[in-house]
Structure formats: structure tokens, C-alpha cells
Structure 1
């Protein structure tokens, strides 16, 4: 599934603002066969149509201003994405929201009927798209709007200035903008003390992506001390060659509307099958990846640092004081991350609760203590002692077994 913009430029006699008049168009936005701009008049006249008559300028400006938010693959938990309806300027826009999460673009489209707008939007949809392809589609729409302004002799608009700054950014500027956006800051108006804090942390750990990932887990005030731990963890263990059989690509487009734990359970069962594990067999976690531990404790809400090289190597580093069962669970989550969407470089296991984190946790639970194996061991006995014995058998926390019983075995 892909996001597509289509437009036909039209004249706009009587429109006074030059940038609005120059970019007047009939606009359609689609998610494959689902039309985000399927509308009908609120009075029901004229029947439905798949386009809206608007100026492209307000939406293009809004998307350019929020470009770095859309581009960064990590966000504060409070960031719910870029909502097209926020473009405003007196136009009716579809209630379409884009949220980038670890390279996947989660798209939500809601129907909308809001007075005093003259039209109601009819379509509801959910989709999971490739973030890169989605950003290309958005960039194409912004580019076309900027070119239209140039062709019509309109100069000096905020859109033109913003888009030029984005396109002319060098690597260092781009890295800073992505980090600032991850932490909920305006990249072009970040307070100087916050900017210095971010730049200092990035110089120390040498990874803008990792620094952005921290936004999912720790408050800004703990950025410096978190960077200390990351620096220690990144030198703790070198990843070794993977011994995990390939699970095959996951079609994330089919995940829209599917509970994350179902995806996690399915992938974990496939891995256990490929490893030849019986339902009651303990998963050989230490044989599948490198596991390390730091001398100092990990920052609050961070469970581990992940080092990966796509399909080649994988390691996990936990903090001091991590129990044996927590270390196994973190390791299984890392294997889950690899099995859901292989990653490269450094990333964090956090206690965030976005879709991918929940899928990873479900994967880890099913890999370590599969529901079929628990059912076989318990044989209908759900007493506390029986759950404890099953937990010891699989080398996991009893709460994990309890959750598996509640969510799968006895559900």
C-alpha cells in the first residue's frame, strides 16, 4: 500500500493571497484504493467525489514545517503524529495522520464531518507503509507546490524558505534536526541550552539515531547521564555472527488493524519451528546472539542496547543489576526485533508501548515460554506452585507464565 497525491492546478479568480491563488487545485489523496479525499456535500447534494477544491499551499507549508517530525523514526510517547487536519487556513482537510516509528509509517484515516465545513469526509482506514516511500510522496507534493509558486512568480513565502532550508541541510544539520524533532523541539528554534545539551550528547555517543531513540525512554534532563551509559554499553560487547535462521520478510502492510501480540506470537512460533524446538524445550538464547552487561545500571526505562548489522550479527547489552530472567527476556526481545524487521547499527530496548515494542514483547514471551508448552506442563493446574514450576522450567519470570496463561492458554 502506498500514499499518493494527485493535483490539477486551477485558476482562482477573486482569491487575494498570492500564494493561495497560485496553488489553487483539485487535490486527491489516496491510500491505494482508499480515498482520503472522498467527500460529499454536507447537505447531501451532488453525490460523492474523490477530490477537494483547495489551495495546496497551506497543506504543503504544514507538511514542510513538520518534515523533521515525520522523518524521525523515534518520538516522545506524547507525540501522536502529524495530522493533516492541522493545516487549517480555513480549508477542509482529511483527518489523515502519519506517524513514523522505526522505519514504518503508521497511517490513520478517520471520517470527518465538522461544521461549518461544507463537506464531510467519508473514508476510514488504517495502514502500515514504508516510511521512506511515504516521505518521498510527501516530498513530491511539497516540491510541486514550491515549483508552482516559482512558476507563478510568487517569492519569499514561509514554505519556500522552510523547504529550501530542509533540502540544503548538510549531514550535521540534518542529524541535529532529527534529534531535536525526536525530543519534541522545533529544529529551527531550539533553546540554546537544549541545543548544546543535545550536541554534547551526540558528540559523545557518535550516533544521532541512538540519541533520537532515547526520546522514547528518558526525560531531557537525564540526557547527559544516559549518554554516559550508552558510551559504556556500546563498547561492552562486539556482535558475533548470527546463528538465527532467517524467518523471511514480514508484510507489515497486513498488520494494520491486527493486534501487535498476534504478529509477535506468529513470528516466535515460526522461529521455534525452524530451530526444531519442542513445545516444552527451553530456547537456547545464549547460542543465538551475544549478550553483555555493563558495570553501571541502565537509565530508567531502558532495558538494553542493541547492536546489529542487518542479517549478519546481533548483540544485546543490559545494565548492572539485571536479573537472569530479565536478561533472557531482553535478549529474546532483541531476537524479536531482528525477526520482525532486521535493523542495522545501534538502537534501544525501551519500556515504551508503541506497536513494535508490544510485538517484540509478545515475540519474547512466546519464544521463551510458548503457550503450547505451558499448557502441556500445567495440564490444567493453574495454581501458584504450578506456575512457579513452569517458570523455572523455561527460565523466565513467573509473571511471564501468568500472562501467557491469561492471554493464550486459558483465554
Structure 2
């Protein structure tokens, strides 16, 4: 399914009088605007006066193009916050905030860094507005398709501004700067980290981004990017992680870890994160010939080459669970949870992260964020420790609290993990998940 932002330009002369006014960016780019993914329409609307339902809305394309260019880095790389959404996040990801005096559709763009979820909500039935948006559709597409659709739209708006001889428009200069940043690896890395922290371009204190940028030299860019996601004003530093690892970490001998034949396994980024996680968990269980059996502490600890007592310890890192390598064959592991089931789940997440990375990295994190990598980890750990077929057979349709607690005890996971497995696999229903694309479900 392709992402399209279609414009059918309105005749300027019929909308305004006076050549100076006609050349203003908004008036010159007035269009019948249609947003769609495949056959799904996000701009379907009803004219409150005539009652006519149409697929487009008459809007100025210029302010939308400026909004897309200005927020490009945040749209593409900033995940949805794990907790309560902040006003700043909504301003950068929800189209209703484009402004300029126009009535925009309530379309939200949510990226996990690999895939983009585009969702529309209908206008409130009681809204006293000349146009009432009707769409409640949603779709998930590869991030590259979103980027291509935005580029095509912005370039079309710039061409329109040029053909209408609009002088002094900001959009061409803004887009030129964006393309230059995207083509420059160092500038692109800086902007990506800035966006992951939740800041608009040049709004984040320079020293904060530069610290992360320097940390990436030793810890790897992808690990530091996961560290930055959702960290906001207080990202953790490499020195903090190293200090905690030395003082509290449990040593892991990487040479004695599970040798996975899935080393040739490659994550298919065309698939949702949870599907990759589940496939990898099935592959590992098949290799180790554990079928649907519960995985004990000793076996899980042996796979990651840590002592099984790690699950019993009360020492924990309040910030996050992670593994940090100090040497090629040694690393330190810290877990966040104080509870055995939580610690098992965190170690399984780190195991999945290690096994599924294409290249070795010194830092592996298990965070609460909604990046593709974190969602993949959670799905891997959930299916590895609590396989859905065995869980379904054990519960046999009994989803009472007692039954869920019993299943959690059997598989050594939390009742929450059991519940989320049932929800994500549509064996249970929840109002919170109604209408969500199962491919976007977070395990």
C-alpha cells in the first residue's frame, strides 16, 4: 500500500481578487487535498451545509508542507511516548496542529523508526464546523513509503509556488536545508538524536546531543539511539552506564553463550516487529528442542552465560535493564526489576536483542519505549517464555484471574505477560485495543 497526498489545485483567480493577494503562499496552493494509503482515505469529510460527502478537503497545501518539513525528523524517528503523551509530541505528530486557520483532519503519524502508523479519528458529532471529517481508518506502512510520499508532496507544492510566481515563500529554503541534512551523515545523526530526545531542530541544548554523539563512538549509534528515545531532558550517559555496570553488574562470559544457528537469521523490516520477534522465538525453541515446555531459570541463565542466582538477587538498576561489554568476551548485565518474573523477562529481552542484531554491539538495552527494536524484544521474550499455543491449551478458554495467575506461575512470567499474550493474539478482547491494527500491538 502506498502513501499518497494528492492535490488538485484550485483556480487562484476564482478565489481571490488582486494579484498581490493571489500570490500569497496559502492562496496560491489552495487545493482539493486527499490523503490515502492504498484504498483507505483519511480525508473523507461531510460538508455541514450541503450534506455532501467527499474524499477530499479544500485546504492550503503550503502550511501542511511546511509542517511536514519542519517536523520531518521527529515524525520519522521519535516514537510514541511510553507514558502519557506530552503536548510537544502531539504538536509534532498530529496533523490537526498544522494551524494557519485551516480546519485540518485529525490524522496522527506514529513511527517506531522502521514503520509508520497513520491513523485518523472522526470529528466529534457535536462539532459546529463547516466540515466534519468522517474517517476512522488506520494503516501501517514502511517508513520509506511515508518519506517518499512526503517528498513527492512537498516538491509538488514548491513547483506550484514557483508556477504562481510566489515571492518570499519559506518552504523552498526549508526543504533545501532538510535535504542537505539528510545527505550529510553527521548532520543526519545529530538531527536523529535531537528528535529522539523529543526536540524540534536546534531546540535541544547542543551539549546534550553532543554527549550522546560522542557516546555513540564507543557504544554504537544504534544502542545510543535506543538510549535517547524518550529520554527527553535527562538522557543517560556512557559514563553512568559504565559506572553502574562496574559497581552492580553481573559478569557474563560471552564465549559460553548459546550458539544459535539463527546467526544467519535476518530481521525482515517489511514485517511488524512482533512478527519478527515471534518467528525468532519459535526458531530458538526449535533449535533447543524445548517445544512448548516452560523454560527454567537455569536454562535461561545458561543461554546468556550468567549465574542463575541473578534471578534471585535484590540488586537492581532503577533506570533500565542493559548489558554492556567491556571486553570482546566479557560483559556486565544489570536488571531493573526486583521480581523474579520481571528479571526473567528482561534477560529474555536482552537475549533476543543480542541474537537479532546484524552486527555485534557493546550495548544492549531493554527499555519501555515503543521503538521497533524494543517491540521486537518484548514479542520475542513473551513468546519464548510463554508460547501462545501452550498457553492457550493450558487455559482452555478460562481467562479468570486465578487461571491467569496459574499460567503465569507455570511459565515463570507475570500475569501481565500472560494477559498481553492473550490480547495480542486476539484470544481476549480489550477496549484499549479495539480498533488497533494487530500488526502494531506492543507485546
Fold shared by both chains (TM-score > 0.5): yes
Note if 1:243 corresponds to 2:261: yes
Cα 1:209–1:281 change in 2 (3 A) is: closer
RMSD: 4.7
**Cα displacement string for residues 81-116 of structure 1 (whole angstroms, at most 9, x for unaligned residues):** 611111122222221111111312122111125755
Pair 1:203-2:221 in alignment:
no
TM-fit CA distance, 1:375: 8.7
User: Which structure 1 segments of 5+ residues have no match?
Assistant: 308-314
Pair 1:19-2:20 in alignment: no
SS in structure 1 at match of 2:261 = coil
8 Å CA contact 1:318–1:327 kept in 2: the answer is no
Match of 2:34 among 28, 32, 40: 28
Inter-partner Cα distance in structure 2 for 1:291 and 1:156:
63
Which has the higher mean CA deviation after the structures are superposed, 319-328 or 345-354? 319-328
- The equivalent of 1:318 in structure 2 is 333
Answer yes or no: is the 8 Å Cα contact 1:316–1:331 preserved in 2: no
Distance 1:383 1:168 in 2: 56
Aligned equivalent of 1:108: 119
State whether structure 2 residue 25 is matched by structure 1 residue 10: no
Q: Contact between 1:280 and 1:376, CA under 8 Å: does it hold in 2?
A: no
Distance 1:220 1:325, change over 3 A: same
8 Å Cα contact 1:22-1:152 kept in structure 2:
yes
Q: Which residue of 1 aligns with 2:133?
A: 121
Any unmatched runs of 5+ in structure 2? Answer: 246-251, 429-443
State TM-score, norm by structure 2.
0.68
Q: Name the counterpart of 1:134.
A: 146
- CA gap 1:333/1:8 in 2 versus in 1, 3 angstroms: same
Q: Deviations over 1:312-342 (max 9, x none)?
A: xxx9963279888766433422455689x86
Inter-partner Cα distance in structure 2 for 1:347 and 1:2: 34
Q: Secondary structure at the match of 1:120?
A: strand
Which residue of 307, 316, 321 corresponds with 1:303? Answer: 321
Cross-structure match for 1:282: 295
Shift of 1:33: 0.7
Deviations 1:190-217 (A, max 9, x none): 3xxx211220331133255443422346
Q: What secondary structure is seen at the aligned counterpart in 1 of 2:199?
A: coil
Normalising to structure 1: TM-score of the pair? 0.73
Matched, 1:171 2:185: yes
Q: Would you say 1:146 and 2:162 are equivalent positions?
A: no
Q: Is the 8 A contact 1:179 1:208 kept in 2?
A: no
| Aligned 8 A contact 2:114 2:269 in 1 | no
Structure 2 CA distance for partners of 1:362 and 1:317, relative to 1, 3 Å: farther
Match of 1:311 in 2: none
Output aligned runs, 1:77-116, within 5 Å: 77=82, 78=85, 79=89, 82-112=93-123, 115-116=127-128
Aligned counterpart, 2:381? 364
Q: What corresponds to 1:329 in structure 2?
A: 345
**SS at 1:156's partner residue?**
coil
Whether 1:51 aligns to 2:64 is no
Cα distance change, pair 342–105 in 1 and its aligned pair in 2 (3 A): farther
Measure the CA separation in 1 of the matches of 2:35 and 2:336.
51
Change (3 A) 1:330 1:91: same
- Residue equivalent to 1:312: none
Structure 1 residues 342, 96: CA separation in 2 closer, same or farther (over 3 Å shift)? Answer: farther
Kept after mapping to 1: 8 A contact 2:277/2:378: yes
**1:63 Cα deviation (Å)?**
0.9
Give a deviation string over 1:341-388, Cα, whole Å, max 9, x none: 8666666320336787466435413312446667999999x999xx89
Cα deviation, 1:101-148, whole Å, max 9, x if unaligned, reads 131212211112575532221211122211121122112211221232
**Matched-pair contact (CA < 8 Å) for 1:74–1:215:** no
Q: Hey, what's the Cα distance between the residues in 2 that align with 1:231 and 1:151?
A: 60
Change (3 A) 1:95 1:377: closer
In the superposition, relative to structure 1, how do residues 405 and 322 fare at CA in structure 2: closer, same or farther (>3 Å)?
closer
The answer to whether residue 197 in structure 2 is matched with residue 183 in structure 1 is: yes
Q: Paired residue for 1:215?
A: 228
